[in-house]
Amino acid sequence: MTEELKKAAALKAAEEIRSGMMLGLGTGSTVYYLVQHLGELAAAGLQIHATATSRATEDLARQNGVPLVDIEKVREIDLAIDGVDAIDPAYQAVKGGGGALFREKVIATRAKRVIWIMDERKLMPHLSHVPLPVETAPFGYHFTEKEIKDLGFIPELRTRDGEIFTTDNGNYILDLAGNADMDYRIMAHKLKEITGILETGFFSPICEKIIVGTKNGVIVKTKER
């Protein structure tokens, strides 16, 4: 059922895409369905180009025939579409479960429009119960861990198949467990002041709308300006 909800949200988001657009494609299981559908649209004649937030999404786009442009050659991004790990009623989000949070933030903050897509499990009353990922340099990361602990977080070095997980940038991910009293907006600023942290997985309310797959159909919510 969850996969069906993700797919429904992705297909609804695709309705926002117009010929001639430069797209920013996110990373993760919900975006997977979007990229598959984009391949079908491109094969049917829709003229689009895309830049991706991860090598995994680049590979998926190539497999599905979605034309890619290197981010260094992109002048502007018309629309970025990505998933979230969690989002609160103020449209603040936590992202980075797929390990691409830095590249996701680069593309999202440069896009003219941003849409987050998700299944209904990602809607949260508060973000503080969700681990907050940070991307950190491997060199001296244990010093970075100590400063993170001093802020009240419990950091856990992300691993995959028994090995330290490294991002496409060659960095580590620390997943930070906080407490119910934490305001991630404030804590994200404090974390960015720590030497060694490249970026956090806290995303301010930059999306124009969210598209949510629910058991009762797809819900589209537009952020009030």
104 part of the active site: yes
What is the rounded distance in angstroms from the CA atom of residue 71 to the CA atom of residue 121? 31
Q: Which of 3, 16, 40, 104 is catalytic?
A: 104
Report how far apart, in Å, the C-alpha atoms of 149 and of each of 5, 104, 153 are.
Answer: 37, 25, 5
Do residues 131 and 175 lie in contact, with contact meaning Cβ atoms separated by under 8 Å?
yes
> Which residues have a catalytic role annotated?
104
